Structure 1
Amino acid sequence: MAAVQQKVADVVQQYRPAKQFKGTKRSDGSSTHVTSLDFDDAGEFLVAAADDEQMTIFDVKEGKQTKSIPSKKYGVHLAKFTHHPRQVLFASTKQENSLRLLELHNESFVRYFTAHSSQVTCLALSPANDQFISCGNDDLVCLWDLNSRSPQGKLKLVTPYLAAFDPAAAVMAIASQSTSSILMYDVRNFDKAPFATFYLDDLEDSYTPTTKGRAWTKLEFSNDGKSLLVGTDYHGHFVLDSFQGTLKSFLVGKTHGTGRAAPVSTSGKPLGQGDACFTQDGRFVIGGTGDSSDLLVWDLQQATEGSQEPTARLPSNGVKSAVVQVNPRFNMMATADTRVCMWRPQDQI
């Protein structure tokens, strides 16, 4: 497999579907939906959570499925690898809305974390240590350490459905979608007021007027910490200056919604974690169109303030990409809807 040192710019337009993995069916014949994807730190394994209450582990180098782990009692969403080998943290979708840390080797629980009284909407792991953030539909944000069952701190905010750490693990951003704002906190002073608040009201009035105050699906820092991606369900995605909160670009080109309820389900739609993300170098954003047509690529070096059209389209061969995740180490990525698909540069297929 080509290492990420091969410049992303040289291969990003060559990505093509390389391998699809068969999805599962319910007893009534309907398809189950993958709700989240995550790669481990080394980029060698992928975990997919699905609404059939099980998670699946894939070996990236071998291009094969290695293990399926049911979670019928608790449900599973937002499954994420920790920095510890073979451990996955995930949010329950039933029972007490707890978070659970699972050891994959023997499929046993290491620890569980209980604080939320409603569905957890986002999990964000610190890039530097064992801290993580959880956001919930109960308007609660918790800062945790994987080694303790009790939160290190709590915040009560208005619809704080999404959160992200910056690459230095010094700043965390919390998106409050009903107030159209992003709150910036110093992680060391989590209990203090945010040091900055970015208001997106005017941007939403200009670019997403019919969905103002809703439909935010993703919050992510670029790897250099200078940009902040705010993904939306339909109209496009905002790329902000992460220091000033000003608009760098609004990424257009989507033609449909994803059909997912991200991050909160009020209509019975399957959950999701957003269909756009930065590439490893932070230069590009890759995202779905909302239907089964091409994946879209936006080159942020070509961005000008205002709407930005895709700089490339990647043929999907009918693969719908309701969830999109780029591998942190290798030039490959994964997408999912009812099945998981691995993408590689076409000269590696």
Structure 2
Amino acid sequence: MSQLALDDRVLRSMGIGKVFKEGHSRINSMDFCRTEDLLVTASDDDSIRLYDVARGQQLDSVNSRKYGVQNICFTHASDCMVYASRKPGAPSIKPLDAHALRYHSLHSNTYIRYFHGHTAQVNSVCMSPKNDTFISAASDKTVRLWDVRTNICQGCLQVPGNPTSTIDQQGLVFAVAVESGVLKLYDLRSYDKGPFDTFLVEEEKGSAAGFADIRFSNNGNLLMAVAEGRIYLLDAYKGSTLRRFSNGIPEAGAAVEACITADNQYLMSGCDDRNIRVWHIETGREVAVWTGHAGVPGCLRMSNRRMLVASACSALVLWIPNLKILDQLQ
């Protein structure tokens, strides 16, 4: 399957390869490993689960009962993750620890390092694909740069709003998005000089809704931004809005993720009707609708290593091409 070229036929043939229902709570974040066929999920029940997606098996399950877990992502070690706390109001948690980030080894089930600095809920955590840098954005109106090798914050940006952030696949640029449709681009090597470009999504101008999810395409040409039920695709160099899609999420509804496929040709998103929709980016046409979730799939990721998509509500679903259907579509 990894040798299949992604096209309309393959996307229409995608079906459920495996469903995992170990937990009954919402899966709030997940991430694919870059170097192995692994997927990690974080849930509102404080669990962290590791899966072998090549074999369709759960490998491990641990808990972060005291602090909770959200915004989980792999480091460059396949058994280590960084993530944000999720229980800021718990009486047993010290104020310093309430919004700390944690570097966790699943192999030994121990915290390797804590990253203190944020004073409000963390909105996003993103690991650089090229080195040990990662970036976090929080409701305290700060974006912080870190290195997993040290707990000392490498840089802090004060921003005028409630931010989310992401790093491009080349590991050179990071983007910060706030309310009113504002996105700012920074050079990771000279972020202290301020943004080198600022984009404005005109339709979001004056809106109090912030961007819940932003990501660069693999080739760096596109920047995706999700605000409530609206998904924007921007030219990452000019800032112009190329496409706008809708996922049906109502105003102030729970945020859902969208993602650009690994070949930069398609956009997919969880939708309010509990389906996943796939659109062709260049033409804007709807290519496929995948059904099967019992709840709205708020998490959505595509593997860079194989023809496989993962989505999650309270259950985790792995989507793969159905070869029988694919033959019928020829």
TM-score, normalised via structure 2 length: 0.90
5 Å matches for 1:103-114?
Answer: 103-114=105-116
**Paired residue for 2:227, among 229, 232, 241?**
232
Q: What code does the residue aligned with 2:238 have?
A: Q
Identity %: 30
Aligned partner of residue 204 in structure 2, secondary structure: helix
Aligned match of 2:257? 275
Q: What code does the residue aligned with 2:170 have?
A: A
Q: What code does the residue aligned with 1:193 have?
A: G
What is the aligned residue count?
315
Q: What code does the residue aligned with 1:48 have?
A: T
Q: What code does the residue aligned with 2:312 have?
A: A
Between the aligned partners of 1:319 and 1:158, the Cα distance in structure 2 is 34
| Alpha-carbon spacing, 1:288–1:332, altered in 2? closer, same or farther (3 Å) | same
Aligned match of 1:270? none
Alpha-carbon offset, residue 14 of structure 1: 1.6
Residue 71 in 1 paired to residue 71 in 2?
no
5 Å matches for 1:154-193?
Answer: 154-177=156-179, 179-193=180-194
| Alpha-carbon spacing, 1:247–1:285, altered in 2? closer, same or farther (3 Å) | same
Q: What code does the residue aligned with 1:298 have?
A: W
5 Å matches for 1:112-151?
Answer: 112-151=114-153
Aligned partner of residue 151 in structure 1, secondary structure: strand
Q: Is the Cα–Cα contact under 8 Å of residues 294 and 313 in structure 2 kept in the other structure?
A: no
5 Å matches for 1:268-307?
Answer: 274-292=256-274, 294-302=275-283
Residue 88 in 1 paired to residue 81 in 2?
yes
Between the aligned partners of 2:222 and 2:292, the Cα distance in structure 1 is 27
Residue 332 in 1 paired to residue 330 in 2?
no
Q: What code does the residue aligned with 1:40 have?
A: C
Between the aligned partners of 1:122 and 1:238, the Cα distance in structure 2 is 18
TM-score, normalised via structure 1 length: 0.85
Aligned match of 1:196? 197
Aligned partner of residue 191 in structure 1, secondary structure: helix
Between the aligned partners of 1:348 and 1:276, the Cα distance in structure 2 is 27
Q: Is the Cα–Cα contact under 8 Å of residues 173 and 188 in structure 2 kept in the other structure?
A: yes
Aligned match of 1:216? 211
Aligned match of 2:90? none
| Alpha-carbon spacing, 1:275–1:257, altered in 2? closer, same or farther (3 Å) | farther
Between the aligned partners of 1:283 and 1:309, the Cα distance in structure 2 is 12
Between the aligned partners of 1:261 and 1:114, the Cα distance in structure 2 is 27
- Write the deviation string for residues 292-313 of structure 1: whole angstroms up to 9, x where unpaired: 2x311111122xxxxx452322
Q: What code does the residue aligned with 1:339 have?
A: A
**Paired residue for 2:6, among 5, 8, 12?**
8
Alpha-carbon offset, residue 38 of structure 1: 0.6
Q: What code does the residue aligned with 1:245 have?
A: G
Residue 34 in 1 paired to residue 36 in 2?
no
Alpha-carbon offset, residue 66 of structure 1: 1.5
Q: What code does the residue aligned with 2:114 have?
A: Y
Aligned match of 2:21? 22
Consecutive unaligned residues of structure 2, counting only runs of 5 or more, are: 88-92, 326-330
Between the aligned partners of 1:66 and 1:195, the Cα distance in structure 2 is 43
Consecutive unaligned residues of structure 1, counting only runs of 5 or more, are: 25-30, 263-273, 303-307
Q: What code does the residue aligned with 1:288 have?
A: G
5 Å matches for 1:310-321?
Answer: 310-316=286-292, 318=294, 320-321=296-297
Q: What code does the residue aligned with 2:195 have?
A: P
Structural RMSD (CA): 2.0
- Write the deviation string for residues 214-264 of structure 1: whole angstroms up to 9, x where unpaired: 052210000110000001222x30000000100111113x234498644xx
Alpha-carbon offset, residue 16 of structure 1: 1.3
Q: Is the Cα–Cα contact under 8 Å of residues 166 and 215 in structure 2 kept in the other structure?
A: yes
